Amino acid sequence: MIDHHAAPPPAGPVPWDKDFALRLLADMVRIRRMEEKSAEMYGAGKIRGFLHLYIGEEATAVGALHALSPEDNIVATYREHGHALVRGLDMAAIMAEMYGKREGCAHGRGGSMHLFDRATRLFGGNAIVGGGLPLAVGLGLAAKMQNENRVTACFFGDGAVAEGAFHESLNLAALWKLPVLFCCENNLYGMGTAIERSESQTDLCVKAASYNMPALRADGMDIVAVHKTTQDAVTRARAGQGPMFVEYQTYRFRAHSMFDAELYRQKAEVEEWKTRGPIHTFSARLKAEGKLTEAEFLAMDAAANAEVDAAVAFAEAGTWEPVEDLLREVMTPENAP
């Protein structure tokens, strides 16, 4: 059984130099501030549709993506703002996309759930639960067939594990020994359904083992653990030893989307998990080790807020794609490169 009670905050020395540690902390803060502002702009009617916030889960995307390289492929879900940002997509392009503006990364065609970036090999932003897994298998297959030293990291939630696509994809990837990391962000709920109410086997690593696929589990609230575990998995996949399942045990602090009264969980449970918040626990550790001062943290936070303000200004100043262009980007134009 999954222990629903939050474990104590991580302890022990942070095995990173100050520079690297602060870079990862800054990324978590950037995501947090961007997400808070997105929620605010949703309330203001600037962002519409579904909006799924990553608040509370920042250590997972930041730790995992910093263990990957630019040549690797990323496949994500509709809860992907953080992944897109850390991967290198401009915050302004993300914000403009959520606004539906032409200056967004998909010209407003995708919105919050469909952030793509060719330059950083971010293959979406997929709003079909489990939909990205077969895609990741294929990206892994292409890399293997072309002898490219590329790992594909596919992020998905605990809810996706119940889909048939999960079974088919893990089987294919293991059968063909593909360089794919199945990165499960287990936040214990798929919308309002707790994992015990959707999985006969709640130990997800056991499931992976049934495909002959090695599995690792990391405390998803501890960025050091996330990074180390992902690094181990990447090393193995890059060495041609096949796919790997990685479970990040994490927790979503906010509602599933903006339409969620959170009737399915206790406030106390959320509060308990918040004591393990990835940002304050990590910054406390760094401070205790003399790698971070309060002034540095405040400067980092101010920089994140300034980036967010600039992103909002960019989105506000953005333009609407003319309706005459409605039918663009359905098929590739004849003379496209």
Partner 1 sequence: MSRRLNYREAMREAMHEALVADPRVFLMGEDVGMYGGTYAFSKGFFDEFGPERIRDTPLSELGFVGAAIGAALGGMRPIVEVMTVNFSLLALDQIVNTAAAYRHMSGGQFSVPLVIRMTTGAGRQLAAQHSHSLEGWYAHIPGIRVLAPATIEDARGMLAPALADPDPVVIFEHAGLFNMEGELPDDWTVDIRSAKVRRVGTDVAIITHGGSLPKAMQAAEQLAAAGIEAEVVNLRVLRPLDTATITASVAKCHRAVVVDEGWRTGSLAAEVMARIMENVFFELDAPVARVCSEEVPIPYARHLEEAALPQPEKIVAAVKRMLG
Ligand X SMILES: Cc1ncc(C[n+]2csc(CCOP(=O)(O)OP(=O)(O)O)c2C)c(N)n1
Residues that bind partner 1 (CB under 8 A): 73, 104-110, 114, 116-118, 123-126, 128, 131, 133-143, 145-146, 152, 164-165, 168-169, 171-172, 175, 328-332, 336
| Neighbouring-strand partners of residue 152 | 73, 180
Helix (H, G, I), strand (E, B) or coil at 117: strand
139 CB contacts (<8 Å, ≥6 apart)?
Answer: 73, 75, 123, 150, 152, 180
- For strand 122-126 and strand 73-77, is the pairing parallel, antiparallel, or unpaired? parallel
Say whether residue 157 binds Mg ion (CB under 5 A). yes
* DSSP E strand boundaries for the chain: 73-77, 122-126, 152-157, 180-186, 189-190, 193-194, 215-219, 244-249
Query: Which one of ligand X, Mg ion, partner 1, none is in contact with 5 (Cβ closer than 5 to 8 A by kind)?
Result: none
Specify the stretch interacting with ligand X by CB under 6 A; choose among 87-95, 184-192, 232-240, 315-323.
Answer: 184-192
Pair 130, 160: CB distance under 8 Å = yes
- Of the candidates 301, 311, 294, 252, the residue with the CA atom closest to the CA atom of residue 30: 301
Nearest distance, CB of residue 178 and ligand X, angstroms: 22
- Per CB under 5 A, the segment of 86-94, 116-124, 189-197, 280-288 that binds Mg ion is 189-197
Q: Helices H, strands E: what count in the chain? A: 11, 8
Residues 159 to 188 in contact with Mg ion, rule: CB under 5 A: 187
What residues from 253 to 292 belong to the interface with ligand X (CB under 6 A)?
256
> C-alpha angle 34/285/16, rounded to 5°?
85
Closer to partner 1 by Cβ: residue 131 or 192: 131
Binding mask 55-84 for ligand X (x = CB under 6 A): ------------------------x-----
Cβ 198 to ligand X shortest distance, Å: 9
> Structure tokens of 103?
């200056």
Nearer to ligand X, 92 or 161 (CB): 161
Number of residues lying near ligand X (CB under 6 A):
15
Residues making contact with Mg ion (CB under 5 A): 157-158, 187, 190
Residues making contact with ligand X (CB under 6 A): 79, 127-129, 156-160, 185, 187, 189-191, 256
